Amino acid sequence: MLIQEGMSLKDKLKILTDAAKYDVACTSSGVERRGKKGYTGNAAEAGICHSFSADGRCISLLKILFTNQCIYDCKYCVNRRSNDVVRTAFTPDEVCSLTMEFYKRNYIEGLFLSSGVLHSPDYTMELIYQTLKKLRQTYRFNGYIHVKAIPGADPVLIEKTGFLADRMSVNLELPTSEGLKRLAPGKTRENILKPMRQIQTGIAVGKQEISVYRGHGRQFVPAGQSTQMIVGATPENDWQMVTVAEALYKNYGLKRVFYSAFVPVNTDASLPAPKGGPPLLREHRLYQADWLMRYYGFKAGELLSEERPNFNVLLDPKCDWALRHLEQFPVEVNRASYETLLRVPGIGVKSARRIVAARRKGSLDFEALKKIGVVLKRAVYFITCSGRQMYPVKIDEDHIASQIIGVERRNVWELENSGMYRQLSLFDDMKLEAAPTGEDICSVVTGVL
Residues at the site binding ligand SF4, with contacts judged by CB under 6 A? 70, 72, 74, 77, 79-80, 116-117, 184
| CB neighbours of residue 436 within 10 Å | 22
C-alpha 55 chain-centroid distance: 12
Distance CA 305, CA 240 (A): 9
Q: Is the Cβ of residue 185 or residue 301 nearer to ligand SF4 in the bound state?
A: 185
Q: Is the Cβ of residue 191 or residue 384 nearer to ligand SF4 in the bound state?
A: 191
Distance CA 23, CA 115 (A): 10
Q: Is the Cβ of residue 48 or residue 77 nearer to ligand SF4 in the bound state?
A: 77
- The 10 Å CB-count burial string (b at 16+, else e) for 191-213 is bbbbbbebbbebbeebeeeeeeb
Q: Is the Cβ of residue 60 or residue 114 nearer to ligand SF4 in the bound state?
A: 114
Question: In angstroms, what is the minimal distance from the CB of 415 to ligand SF4?
Answer: 40
Question: In angstroms, what is the minimal distance from the CB of 265 to ligand SF4?
Answer: 10
Question: In angstroms, what is the minimal distance from the CB of 200 to ligand SF4?
Answer: 22
For residue 99, which phi and psi values (nearest 5 degrees)? Answer: -60, -45
Question: In angstroms, what is the minimal distance from the CB of 403 to ligand SF4?
Answer: 44
Question: In angstroms, what is the minimal distance from the CB of 94 to ligand SF4?
Answer: 19
Question: In angstroms, what is the minimal distance from the CB of 240 to ligand SF4?
Answer: 20
DSSP state of 275: T
> Among 103, 106, 70, 100, which Cα is nearest to 87's?
70
Distance CA 348, CA 369 (A): 12
Q: Is the Cβ of residue 77 or residue 424 nearer to ligand SF4 in the bound state?
A: 77
Q: Is the Cβ of residue 20 or residue 355 nearer to ligand SF4 in the bound state?
A: 20
In 59-180, the DSSP E strands lie at: 61-65, 110-114, 144-148, 167-169
Distance CA 148, CA 150 (A): 6
Q: Is the Cβ of residue 75 or residue 308 nearer to ligand SF4 in the bound state?
A: 75
Question: In angstroms, what is the minimal distance from the CB of 2 to ligand SF4?
Answer: 16
Question: In angstroms, what is the minimal distance from the CB of 219 to ligand SF4?
Answer: 28
| Helix or strand (DSSP H, E) at 172 | none
DSSP for 307-341 reads SS-S--SSS-HHHHHHHHTGGG--EETTT--HHHH
Q: Is the Cβ of residue 87 or residue 284 nearer to ligand SF4 in the bound state?
A: 87
DSSP state of 306: S
Q: Tell me the β-bridge partners of 89.
A: 67
Question: In angstroms, what is the minimal distance from the CB of 203 to ligand SF4?
Answer: 24
Distance CA 187, CA 150 (A): 11
354's CB contacts (< 8 A; 6+ apart) are 372, 373
Collapse the DSSP code of 373 into the 3-class scheme (helix H, G, I; strand E, B; otherwise coil) and give the result: coil
- The 10 Å CB-count burial string (b at 16+, else e) for 243-258 is bbbbebbeebbbbbbb
Question: In angstroms, what is the minimal distance from the CB of 18 to ligand SF4?
Answer: 13
- Write the single-letter amino acid at 339: E
Q: Is the Cβ of residue 183 or residue 379 nearer to ligand SF4 in the bound state?
A: 183
Question: In angstroms, what is the minimal distance from the CB of 231 to ligand SF4?
Answer: 15
Question: In angstroms, what is the minimal distance from the CB of 242 to ligand SF4?
Answer: 23
DSSP state of 346: T
Distance CA 145, CA 220 (A): 12
| CB neighbours of residue 426 within 10 Å | 13
Q: Is the Cβ of residue 23 or residue 320 nearer to ligand SF4 in the bound state?
A: 23
DSSP state of 68: S
Distance CA 109, CA 142 (A): 10
